[in-house]
Amino acid sequence: MTRYIIRRFLSLIPTLFLIIVFAFTIERLAPGGPFSSEKKLPPEIMANMLAKYHLDEPWPQQFLRYLGDILHGDLGPSYRYKDFTVNQLIFQALPNSMLLGALALVVAVVLGLGTGIIAALRQNSWVDYATMSLAVIGISVPLFVIGPVIKMVFALQLKWLPTSGWIDGRNGWIVLIMPVITLSFPYFASIARLSRASVLEVLRSDYIRTARAKGLTETTVIFKHVLKGAMLPVISYLGPAFAGIITGTVVVETIFTIPGMGRFYIQAATNRDYTLIMGDVIVFSVILVLMNFVVDVVYGFLDPRISYK
């Protein structure tokens, strides 16, 4: 088991490395640069600025410097917001996105699992059809349609919820409801479908037949025998689900005007603030990669075929 964990951990490194290389390459290759939007600067000043940002050094040297900076946790200065470093900007926005993402994930998992399991146990009943139809909606309708529609219905027409804003002096937790529901919806749908299919498949397996033949009550069969096996595909899915949620924050934050990293990301992309983009990507990737690692480890714990080789 420890070997498994170590192996999984080691595999993180190439991924992260690749991302950093990629970030660096794009930044250097991109047309335009930190100064292209300003007026034409005289050559000496240009040279000075280039030297200041180390942009006049040969690429390999720049890369090593960049790598060193990152390992020290320094993501560089923002090209756009000249007074701030990328670190400052990101860590201002990160907690908001993390809160949004984490809540969305929890809601998706809890509701998804619950719905999926109930649907499987009451297969072909109205509960099954209702929940699975809801799930199909969840995976077919894009986030950027769900969000505005929810906003339109609940905030503009029914006026139950505030249209935008984040938690601060004026708004309490109520502001979270719409963005979290929007963001979690597609993943709730996938998890519901996945867990339903998984439970159904386990119910058909031989070892459940054995359990029934031993005279165990249906409750015991479900909670003790079915659940553990059925959960595994859902756990595996959590990695990609979280990746999707990270991506989704970009849209949801834009629609509900939440000051999070997603919105920053888009603005940075449109503004060509490369260091900010790269910083964002790296932070997102680190989080994602760590999350995948945690998922792998949890999976390893749950499946004895892995932990007891």
Partner 1 sequence: MKFPKVRNLRIGGKADAELNEFAQSMKPVSLWADAWKRLRKNKMALGGLYIVAFYVVACLAAPILPIYHYEDQVIAHANLPPSLRPAGEVMLDTRMAYMGKVMKAEARTSFNAKEQAEIQAMKADVAINPQHKRVYVLGTDNLGRDLLSRTLYGGRISIMIGLVGTITATLVGILLGSIAGYAGGRVDNFIMRFVDILYGLPYMLVVIIMMAVFGKNVINLFVAIALVSWLTLARVVRGQVMSLKNAEFVEAARSMGASPARIVFRHLTPNTLGVIVVFATLLVPDFIMSESFLSFLGLGVSAPLASWGSLVSEGTATMELYPWQLLVPAISMTLFLFAMNFLGDGLRDALDPQSKNRA
Partner 2 sequence: MTDEVILRVRDLRTYFNTDEGVVKAVDGVSFELRKGETLGIVGESGSGKSVTNLSIMNMIPNPPGKIVGGEVLFGERDLLKMPPREIREIRGNKISMIFQDPMTSLNPFLRISTQMMETIMLHQGLGKKDAKAKAIEMLALAGIPAPEKRIDAYPHQFSGGMRQRVMIAMSLSCNPEILIADEPTSALDVTIQAQILDLMKDLTARLGTAVILITHSLGVVAGTCDTLCVMYAGRVVERGATEDVFAAPKHPYTRGLIKSVPRLDIASDGRLSSIQGQPPNVIDLPECCPFYPRCDQAKDICKKKYPERSDFGNGHSAACWLYSEAK
- Residues in contact with partner 1 by the rule CB under 8 A: 11, 14-15, 18-19, 22, 26, 29-31, 136-137, 139-145, 148-149, 151-152, 156, 190, 193-194, 197-198, 201, 233, 237, 240, 243, 246-247, 250-251, 254-255, 265-266, 269-270, 272, 277, 280-281, 284-285, 288-289, 292
Does 61 interact with partner 2 (rule: CB under 8 A)?
Answer: no
DSSP letter at 141 equals S
Other beta carbons within 10 Å of 296 = 21
Terminal Cα-to-Cα distance of the chain (whole angstroms) = 8
CB 167 within 8 A of CB 224: no
Residue 221, token pair as written in the block: 């069969």
Restricting to residues 285-304, name those near partner 2 by CB under 8 A.
302-304
CB of 179 to partner 1, least distance (A): 15
**Which pair of structure tokens corresponds to residue 113?**
């699992």
Note whether 219 binds partner 2 by CB under 8 A.
no
Determine, following the binding rule CB under 8 A, whether residue 170 of this chain makes contact with partner 2: no
Q: Of partner 2, partner 1, none, which one does residue 136 interact with (CB within 5 to 8 Å by kind)?
A: partner 1
211 binds, among partner 2, partner 1, none (CB under 5 to 8 A by kind): partner 2
Should residue 99 be labelled a site residue for partner 2 when binding is judged by CB under 8 A? Answer: no
Q: Does 83 help bind partner 2 (rule: CB under 8 A)?
A: no
Note the residue count of the chain.
309
Q: Please, are residues 138 and 188 in contact by the beta-carbon 8 Å criterion?
A: yes
For residue 158, the one-letter residue type is L
CB of 223 to partner 2, least distance (A): 12
Assign 169 to helix, strand or coil.
coil
Member of 40, 72, 82, 305 binding partner 2 (CB under 8 A): 305
Residue 290 parent element (H or E):
helix 274-302
38 in contact with partner 2 (CB under 8 A):
no
> How near is the Cβ of 174 to partner 1 at its closest, in Å?
20
Binding mask 222-261 for partner 2 (x = CB under 8 A): --xx--xx--------------------------------
Contact indicator for 301, 307 with CB cutoff of 8 Å:
yes
Based on the number of CB atoms within 10 Å of its own CB, is 94 exposed (0-12), middle (13-18) or buried (19 or more)? middle
Which of 261, 309, 267 is CA-nearest to residue 89?
261
Query: What's the closest the beta carbon of residue 24 comes to partner 1, in angstroms?
Result: 12
Calculate ∠ Cα 151-152-158, nearest 5°.
Answer: 100
Least distance between partner 1 and beta carbon 43 (Å): 26
Residue 74 vs 303, nearer CB to partner 2: 303
- What single-letter amino acid sits at 160? W
Binding site for partner 2 (CB under 8 A): 205-207, 209-217, 220, 224-225, 228-229, 302-305, 308
